[in-house]
Chains A and B, each alone.
Chain A
Amino acid sequence: MSLASKWVIPPPKKTLVVGIADKVVSNDPGAELVTYSLGSCLGITLYDPAKRIGGLLHVMLPNSAISAAKAASCPMMFVDTGVPRLFHALYELGADRARLVLKVAGGAQFLDPDGVFNIGERNQAALAELLRRNGFSIQAEDLGGVSSRTLRLQLDSGRVQIHSPGRPPYSL
C-alpha cells in the first residue's frame, strides 16, 4: 500500500465568498458558495444536480438603466444584467438548462406602508419578470420580512441553507 492511500482525511471544504454585486460559479463538488448580509438584495443560486455545477449571485438593484457605466463595469449589481450572466457562466462550465434549479432569498423590506423605497419588492418583481419572459421558474424562495440573511449553496448536494441572526439555520 502506498503511503498516500493510508491518509483518509477528507480535503477541507472550500468556502467561496460572494461579495455584494458579485457572482461566483464553480464545478468543484467540495466547494461551498456563501454570501452574507442579504437585506433588500437578492441572493440567487443556480445548480445543475447531474454535473454538480453551481453558482451564486448577489444583486442589489432591479434595473441597470440607471447607469450605463455601472452596468458595464459591475453588471452583477443589477437583476437585469446579473442573472443572464449567471446562467451563461454555468453553461460555459457545461451545465444543462433543462436541469438547472434556481432558488432565491432576500428582498427584505423596511416598515414602509407607502412603498417609497420598496427596493426589495422591486428586485423580486424584476427577477420574476425576467424569468417569466425566458420561460424559467423559481423552485424555492425565502423572500421579504425585516431580517438579513446569509445564503449558502453546497455543490456536492445542491443544498441551499439560509441563516438569519438569532434563528436556527434552515434549508430551502
Chain B
Amino acid sequence: MTANEIVAKLKPLPVSRAGLRLIKLLDQPDRDNERIIQILKCDAMLTAKVLRSCNSAGCALKGRVASVDQAVLLLGYNQILRIVLSVALAEAMRVPLKAYAFDGNDLWLHSFAAAAAAETLALDGLVSDIDPSSAYTAGLLHDIGKVALHQFLKPDLVLSLRQQIAEQGLSRPDAEKVVIGADHAEVGAGLLAQWELPAEIIEAVANHHHPLVEPRPRLSALTFMANLISHLAGSAPGWESYAVHLDGAAAAALGITRERVDYLVMAVRESIERAEAFIVVE
C-alpha cells in the first residue's frame, strides 16, 4: 500500500477540528486574538479543556482565568497553541500501539519529549529562521503516522517488520517500507495534509527520518535531530527504538558536532522533565 492508500482507508482519528484550525494559524503572521478566540469558541469541549488547563496547578495563571477571551489575551497565540495541542490531540495520540510495543502513554510522552527537544534546538542558536512554535508542533506530530500505520500492522506484519530489522539490519522506517509499502513518516505527512496543516509542518514530518538540508528553513533536519536527541535523553519507548539511521549531513548542517551533542542531550533532558510536569499523565 502507498501512503495515500493508507490515509484514504484510515478510520478517522478523534481530533478536534478547532484545534487543527488553530495549528493552521502557524503560518499566518496576521493572526489576531479575535480570530483565535473565534476558533476556540467553535468547540465547547476544547474550550472547557483549555480553561481547565489554564487553571491547573502547573500553569502560571492557575485559578485566575474565567473565559477564553481572557486566556487568549493573557497567554497569546504561542502559549495557547501548546495548551491546545496537548488537549486537542490527546484522545488520538494517548493510545496503546501494540505493534510498536507502546503502552497507553508511551507515544504521548515521546511526542512531548520530541516537541520539547525541537523547541530547545530552535532556541539554542543552531538556527535563526525557524519559529520555535513550528519546531514544537513538528516535534509533537512527528510520529503521528504510527497511530495511522498501527491500524494496518497485523501481528504477522509486525513479526516480519522486526525480522527485517534484526536480520537485514534495516532501520525501522525502511523496514516499514519493505513490509507495508510506506513508512510512518510518509503516512503521518499524508494525514496532516488531509487535515490541511501548514506545508512546513507536513514537510518536516514527511522527512523526519530522511532530513533535507536544503532548502531552508531546515525544519525537517531540526525535527530529525530533535527526535534522536530525545531518544538519547531517555525517551525511546517500544522495541528496536534505536533502529534509526543517523544522518551526519543533517547534524553537520545544524552545527551539531560531537562536542555539542552531549550538551544538547543534557539541555533536552531538562526540557523533557519540564514538559512531563506540564502535561501530567492522569
Contact = CB atoms under 8 A, between A and B. Distances in A.
The answer to whether A and B interact is: yes
A82 to B, nearest CB: 13
Interface string B251-273: 10000001001110110010000
Given A39-B232, A165-B239, 15 more contacts: A20-B233, A37-B236, A40-B231, A41-B234, A77-B266, A77-B269, A108-B242, A114-B246, A114-B248, A116-B246, A146-B165, A146-B242, A147-B240, A147-B242, A165-B101
Query: DSSP majority for the A interface?
Result: loop
Interface stretch (A46-54, A61-69, A91-99, A152-160): A61-69
Interface of B: 101, 162, 165, 169, 171, 228, 231-246, 248, 251, 258, 261-263, 265-266, 269
> Interface size class for chain A?
20 to 34
Given A37-B234, A148-B238, A66 B262 contact: yes
A63 B263 CA distance: 10
20 contacts: A20-B233, A20-B234, A39-B232, A39-B234, A39-B241, A60-B269, A61-B265, A108-B236, A110-B231, A112-B246, A116-B251, A117-B251, A117-B258, A120-B242, A148-B237, A148-B238, A148-B239, A148-B241, A165-B239, A166-B162
Contact of A61 (B236, B239, B242, B262): B262
A111 interface: yes
Contacts of A45: none
B261 A119 contact: yes
Interface of A: 20-21, 37, 39-41, 60-63, 66-67, 70, 77, 108-112, 114, 116-117, 119-120, 145-148, 164-167
Contacts of A111: 169, 171, 242-246
A145 B241 CA distance: 10
Nearest to A119: B232
Contact of B245 (A40, A70, A110, A165): A110
Contact of B265 (A60, A110, A116, A146): A60
Contacts of A119: 232, 261-262, 265
Contacts of B243: 111, 146
The 8 closest A-B pairs by CB, nearest first: A165-B101, A112-B246, A146-B242, A39-B236, A165-B239, A20-B234, A146-B243, A166-B239
Given A20-B269, A37-B237, A110-B228, A117 B246 contact: yes
A61 B239 CA distance: 22
Given A146-B240, A148-B241, A39 B231 contact: yes
B232 A166 contact: no
Contacts of B241: 39, 108, 146-148
A58 to B, nearest CB: 9
A70 B273 CA distance: 14
Given A60-B269, A111-B245, A40 B232 contact: yes
Contacts of B165: 146
